[in-house]
Amino acid sequence: MNLILAVILRLAVWLLLAPLLPGIINKVKAWVAGRRGPPVLQLYYDLAKLWRKGVVLSTLASPGFIAGPAVAWVALLGAAMLMPLGPGGTALSFRGDVLLLIYLLALARFCTAWAAMETGSAFEGMGAAREVSYAVLAEAAIVTAVLSLSVQTGSVSLVTMLSPSAGAGAVLLAAGLFTVLLAENCRVPFDDPNTHLELTMIHEVMVLDHSGPPLAAILHGASVKLLLFAVLLIQAVLPLGALSAPAAAGALVAGVLAVTVGVGLVESWLARLAFRRVPLLLTTAFLLCLFALLVAWKGGAK
């Protein structure tokens, strides 16, 4: 009974808090640009509106066009449920759950790409091609980051491996994971969520043809993914385990907010990279994680 309650509570946290993040990012961007900007809760309004709207389906699309976003959304929420929440621990933990998490993200990516290809639009094909291609390098970086956490703690399970040590390794890992966060969530400098030129988009162009509840599922899933990466980044870098429970919870929330504001600031100050430069940046993220791994290795050997 307790388990069910814990799962429901956790699910509620992820479901309800995730759409806050894009709102904060937009507010930060507006603030830097000296505008008032949309309300922080804008995504909630959008989701509620989309959920009630009808669906326009391309004549070419199969039922997979609607199933794809549903599967992706379940996969992202499943990944979120595996992620421990600071002092709250996790609902379910087993050895190797971190690999399941990575592959659930891959499942979500497959389904989004599948749904994009359904329409036969060249734009969406382009977006899907970019998404799956850049994921190759991002995946290498994530696995390296996970390996470095694993080396640090000698564990392959998320609950125990997210107890990092401070030092040079943490800085490198933070930089690497932050870059991966930007890439995986299609933020500047990899992709510009606010651009109006479809030729330069990745994620947004993949969902051009979606509407109504499936689009709501996609947008909500994207916000869950952003929150997931922020939580992962904070827990991989800040030693929350050493703090008392309330302090750790506070630190987690503050950290996630800081990451979100950071994303907003990056988006305000940087321009989107040319696509041919993206692999270079992702390689840099991979190398940062790799050096974090080597530092962790050396630190443990002493």
Partner 1 sequence: MSGGTLNLFIGLAMGLNLLALGSSRLPSLIRAVSLQGVLLGVMPLLLEHDTFDWRVVLVALATMVGKGLVIPGLLRRAMRAANVEREMAPFISYVPSLLLGAGGTIAAVALARGLPLLPEHAGTLLVPGAIASMLTGFILLIGRAKAISQVCGYLILENGIYLFGLLLIHSTPLLVESGILLDVTVGVFVIGIIVDRIQRAFDSLDTRKLTTLRE
Partner 2 sequence: MPGPLLLFAFAALVTGIVVGVRMSRLWLALTVAGTTAGFGAALMVLLGAADWEWRSGFSLGDELVHLRLDGVSALFLALLCVVGGAGAVYAREYWPEKHYPASAPRGRVWWSALVLSMGLVLTVSNGLHFLIVWELFAICAFFLITLDRQRREVRAAGWLYLAASHAGTMALFAFFSLLAARTGSWDLPGPMRERADLSSLFWLVLAGFGVKAGVFPLHIWLPSAHANAPSHVSAIMSGVAIKMGIYGIVRFSGWLPVPAAAGWVVIGLGATSALLGIAFAFAQNDFKRLLAYCSVENIGIILVGLGAALLALTHGDAVWGRLALAGALLHVWSHGAFKALLFFGAGSVLHATGTREMSRLGGLWRTMPWTAGLFALGSLAVSGLPPLNGFVSEWLVYLGLFDAVTSKGPSAWAALPAAIMLAMAGAMAMASFAKASAMIFLGAPRTQAAAHAHECGMGMRAPMLMLAGVCVGIGLAPILFWPAIRRAAGSWCPGWGAEETPAPLVALGSVHVALAVLILAAAAWLWRKAHTNGLRRGMTWDCGYATPYARMQYVSASFAGIVSGWFRWILQPERKIRRPRGHFPEEALRLERVPETVLERIIGPVSAAIMRVSTTVRQLQHGRLQFYILYVVAGLIALGVLVLLGGAP
Q: Which among partner 2, partner 1, none contacts residue 269 (Cβ within 5 to 8 A by kind)?
A: none
Residue 218 CB, nearest approach to partner 1 (Å): 31
Counting Cα atoms < 13 Å in the Cβ hemisphere of 255 gives: 24
What are the distances in angstroms from CA 188 to CA 127, 194, 202, 232, 262? Answer: 15, 10, 11, 20, 11
Hunting for tokens 């382009």 — which residue is that?
126
Nearer to partner 1, 102 or 168 (CB): 168
Residue 183 CB, nearest approach to partner 1 (Å): 15
Q: Which among partner 2, partner 1, none contacts residue 144 (Cβ within 5 to 8 A by kind)?
A: partner 2
Residues that bind partner 1 (CB under 8 A): 168, 277, 279-280, 283-284, 287, 290-291, 294
Nearer to partner 1, 80 or 288 (CB): 288
Q: Which among partner 2, partner 1, none contacts residue 73 (Cβ within 5 to 8 A by kind)?
A: partner 2
Among 211, 183, 196, smallest CA distance to 277 is for 183
Nearer to partner 2, 248 or 292 (CB): 292
Nearer to partner 1, 96 or 279 (CB): 279
Distance CA 279, CA 100 (A): 25
Residue 36 CB, nearest approach to partner 2 (Å): 30
Distance CA 100, CA 104 (A): 6
The vertex-5 CA angle with 217 and 106, nearest 5°, equals: 35
Cis peptide before 279 (omega within 30 of 0): no
Residue 119 CB, nearest approach to partner 1 (Å): 33
Distance CA 31, CA 50 (A): 27
Distance CA 51, CA 159 (A): 35
Q: Which among partner 1, partner 2, none contacts residue 287 (Cβ within 5 to 8 A by kind)?
A: partner 1
Nearer to partner 1, 95 or 277 (CB): 277
Chain-centre distance for alpha carbon 188? 14
Q: Which among partner 2, partner 1, none contacts residue 125 (Cβ within 5 to 8 A by kind)?
A: partner 2
Nearer to partner 2, 266 or 278 (CB): 278
Residue 52 CB, nearest approach to partner 2 (Å): 7
Please name the residues in contact with 135: beta carbons below 8 A apart, sequence gap of 6 or more: 106, 109, 184
Nearer to partner 1, 168 or 199 (CB): 168
Q: Which among partner 1, partner 2, none contacts residue 123 (Cβ within 5 to 8 A by kind)?
A: partner 2
Task: Compute the CA torsion angle 94, 13, 221, 260 (nearest 10 deg).
Answer: -100
Q: Which among partner 1, partner 2, none contacts residue 283 (Cβ within 5 to 8 A by kind)?
A: partner 1
